[in-house]
Amino acid sequence: MIAIPKGFRFAGISAGIKADMSKKDMSLIFTDDACAVAGVYTQNLVVAAPVTLDRQRTPSNAIRGVIVNSGNANACTGQQGFANTEAMCAAGAAEIGCAAEEVLVMSTGIIGVQLPMKKIIAGAKLLGTSRGEDSEAFLAAADGFLTTDNGRKTAGRQVEIGGQQITITGIAKGAGMIGINMATFLSVVMTDARIDAATLQAIQSRVIQSTFNCVSVEGHTSTNDTFLLMASGVVGSELNAEELAQFEGVLEEVCLELAKMIPADGEGASHVLEIDVSGAGSDEDAREIAEAVANSNLVKTCVAGNDPNWGRIVSAVGYAGIDIDADQIVLHLLGQKLFEQSEPVTFDESALSDAMRTSKEISIQLTVGSGPGSAKIWTSDLTTDYVVFNADYHT
């Protein structure tokens, strides 16, 4: 059972935004007193109304909650869209019992269509009457985030920090071939620790680099991507520097667990690729190389076909645009060495293909020299199901 941080209330309901009324499409998460919130948002220049609003309101020590809808992203909706996102916050605030300015908002779903405000307003009321503090209410809220996700995405940890029991628990949504596409990523991670918003923001900006940003390639973000970090502060006193470092380590674990659920649930994905590059001149160089491999459709399709096609991987390393000595490339796939000193290594192709078939996670380990730089990123493979899904998911 997932640990629920103290001081939060949750609700998740169906407001009829999605055609399928059996699917939840609105959520509310709030605190009894003001909480501290930090936010990191999409790098896309085309930004949805809720992102514009949240950016104005975070970081802040005076937030009470966040209202969420799925099924409609409120993106590319102009001034009306922004007015709607403000009205959605006000509707949430009425249920929480606070000012509209104390509420944040997240939306995900189709773009270019105005929010169905009657449903949103009625949905907010229903959220107010459905509120709870237990795991049932928490899971209902998690379900309200989902769009094409195959399953709910939650992760949590309970740890003792400075003699106090602290809980860090998160919700995420995001499917699609994250990183090379526009599938929206949303996450709210909550804690009952007492940390001010500025400190939260600094921690969040570091943690996202090794977690959510490792399944989302730099700059390739959707119109709505949002990651909120909320601290209710109901447990004990403020954390000191050492305790904050401990907190950050646990937060990183939670975020990485959530992050890795995203490619695992990629539309039509049959494998998750873990691409681990070391020996580069710098971490940035390693990341560029890892991204070139992760974004190669030929690599993604050969993994889908359980084909240990070292040539496609090595070629992607070669075109990554990073100056390395190609003779130093060493490639392992699922622990099997495939390429070294510019030539393929003899291996049992049929056995390795069988191993790929029965393994959900495919590790691709690349050494590209003797430098100190390394990076690890995750992505999905590319299957016919992905194409069918994305050719048919209409605007």
Between residues 182 and 251, which has the closer beta carbon with respect to a second copy?
182
Between residues 244 and 317, which has the closer beta carbon with respect to a second copy?
317
Helix, strand or coil, per DSSP, at residue 192: coil
CB of 206 to a second copy, least distance (A): 22
According to DSSP, the residues that pair with 293 across neighbouring strands are none
Burial 356-384 (b: 16+ CB within 10 A, else e): beeeeebebbbbbbebebbbbbbbbbbbe
CB of 118 to a second copy, least distance (A): 21
CB of 116 to a second copy, least distance (A): 16
CB of 37 to a second copy, least distance (A): 25
CB of 379 to a second copy, least distance (A): 11
Between residues 328 and 363, which has the closer beta carbon with respect to a second copy?
328
Cis? peptide before 263, omega within 30° of 0: no
Q: Are 331 and 339 in contact (CB under 8 A)?
A: yes
Between residues 129 and 341, which has the closer beta carbon with respect to a second copy?
341
Has 184 been annotated as catalytic? yes
Question: Which parts of this chain interact with a second copy (CB under 8 A)?
Answer: 43-47, 75-78, 110-112, 176-177, 180-183, 219-223, 295-298, 301-302, 304-305, 307-312, 314-321, 323-324, 326, 329, 339, 341-344, 349, 382-384, 386-388, 390-392, 394-395
Between residues 20 and 392, which has the closer beta carbon with respect to a second copy?
392
Question: Which DSSP letter does residue 321 get?
Answer: S
Alpha helices (H) in 131-282, listed in sequence order: 135-143, 197-210, 241-264
From the candidates 85, 184, 191, 221, give the one annotated as an active-site residue.
Answer: 184
Question: Which DSSP letter does residue 133 get?
Answer: S
Task: Say how many C-beta atoms besides its own lie within 10 A of residue 395's C-beta.
Answer: 6
Q: Are 267 and 186 in contact (CB under 8 A)?
A: no
- Residues assigned a catalytic role: 184
